[in-house]
Structure 1
Amino acid sequence: MEGAITLNSKPVEGNILVINTGSTSSKFGYYKDGVQVCGSQIDHSKAEIEKATDFSAQLAIRNAAVSKFLEENHIPLEEIDLIMGRGGQMRPILPGVYSVNADMREVLISYRDGKHASSLSPVMADDLAGEINNVRKAKGIKGRYGECKAYIADSTTSDEMLPEYRLYGVPEFKRESLYHALNSRAVVRKYLADIGFEKNNKNIIVCHMGGGVTISMHQNGRVIDSTHGLDGDGPITPERSGTCPALPLVEMCFSGKYTEKEIRNKIVGGGGAVAYFGTNDMRVVEAKAKEGVPEYKLFMEAFVLNIAKYIAALTVDVYGKVDALLFTGGIAYSKYITDAIIKRVGHLFPDIRIYPGENEIRSLAENGYMVLSGKVKAKTYNKNKLIED
Structure 2
Amino acid sequence: MKILVLNSGSSSLKYQLFDMPAGTVLCAGLVEKIGETEGNLSFEYGTQTVTVNMPFEDHKVALNKVSELLMNPDYKLIQSSDEIAAVGHRVVHGGEHFTASTLIDESVKAEIKELFSLAPLHNPANLQGIEVAETVFSSAKQYAIFDTAFHTTLPEEAYRFAIPEELYQKYGTRVYGFHGTSHRYVSNKAIDYLGLKNKDSKIITIHLGNGCSISAIKNGKSIDTSMGLGPLSGLIMGTRSGDIDPSVIFYLLEQGYEIEQIKTLLNKQSGMKGLTGDNDLRNINTRAKDGDEAALLALKMYAYRIKKYIGSYMTILGGLDAIVFTAGVGENDAVTRKMCCSNLEHFGIDIDDTLNETRKPGLREIQKGKVKILIIPTDEEYEIARQSYHLTQGNNPN
For normalisation by structure 1, the TM-score amounts to: 0.79
Deviation of 1:200 (Å):
6.1
Task: Find the aligned partners of 1:348 and 1:22 in 2 and give their Cα distance.
Answer: 41
Task: Find the aligned partners of 2:235 and 2:25 in 1 and give their Cα distance.
Answer: 35
> Cα deviation per residue 1:57-113 (whole Å; 9 max; x = unaligned)?
xx9722222221121132421101111000233321454321112222123345243
State the aligned residue count. Answer: 340
**33-42 or 121-130, which moves further after superposition?**
121-130
Pair 1:298–1:46, CA change in 2 (3 A):
farther
Residue in 1 that maps onto 2:96: 92
1:213-224 to 2 correspondences below 5 Å: 213-224=212-223
Deviation of 1:222 (Å):
1.8
SS at match of 1:82: strand
8 Å Cα contact 2:34-2:59 kept in structure 1: no
Residue in 2 that maps onto 1:116: 121
Task: Find the aligned partners of 1:117 and 1:125 in 2 and give their Cα distance.
Answer: 13
Residue in 2 that maps onto 1:166: 159
Task: Find the aligned partners of 1:325 and 1:23 in 2 and give their Cα distance.
Answer: 34
For normalisation by structure 2, the TM-score amounts to: 0.77
8 Å Cα contact 1:20-1:121 kept in structure 2: yes
Pair 1:167–1:196, CA change in 2 (3 A):
closer
SS at match of 1:244: coil
Q: 1:78 aligned to 2:82?
A: yes
Residue in 2 that maps onto 1:351: 372
Task: Find the aligned partners of 1:29 and 1:169 in 2 and give their Cα distance.
Answer: 42
Deviation of 1:335 (Å):
0.6
Q: Which runs of 5+ in 1 are unaligned?
A: 1-13, 50-58, 135-147, 379-389
Q: Which runs of 5+ in 2 are unaligned?
A: 39-55, 72-77, 350-370
Q: 1:326 aligned to 2:324?
A: yes
Q: 1:35 aligned to 2:35?
A: no
1:1-389 to 2 correspondences below 5 Å: 14-33=1-20, 34-44=23-33, 61-74=58-71, 75=78, 76-109=80-113, 111-121=116-126, 124-125=129-130, 128-129=133-134, 132-133=137-138, 148-156=140-148, 158-171=151-164, 175-199=174-198, 201-228=200-227, 230=230, 232-256=232-256, 258-319=257-318, 321-332=319-330, 333-345=332-344, 347-349=347-349, 350-356=371-377, 358-376=378-396
8 Å Cα contact 2:35-2:57 kept in structure 1: no
Residue in 1 that maps onto 2:368: none
Q: What percentage of aligned pairs have identical amino acids?
A: 21
> Cα deviation per residue 1:157-185 (whole Å; 9 max; x = unaligned)?
65332111234444357541222101110
- Cα RMSD of the aligned pairs, angstroms, is 2.7
8 Å Cα contact 1:100-1:122 kept in structure 2: no
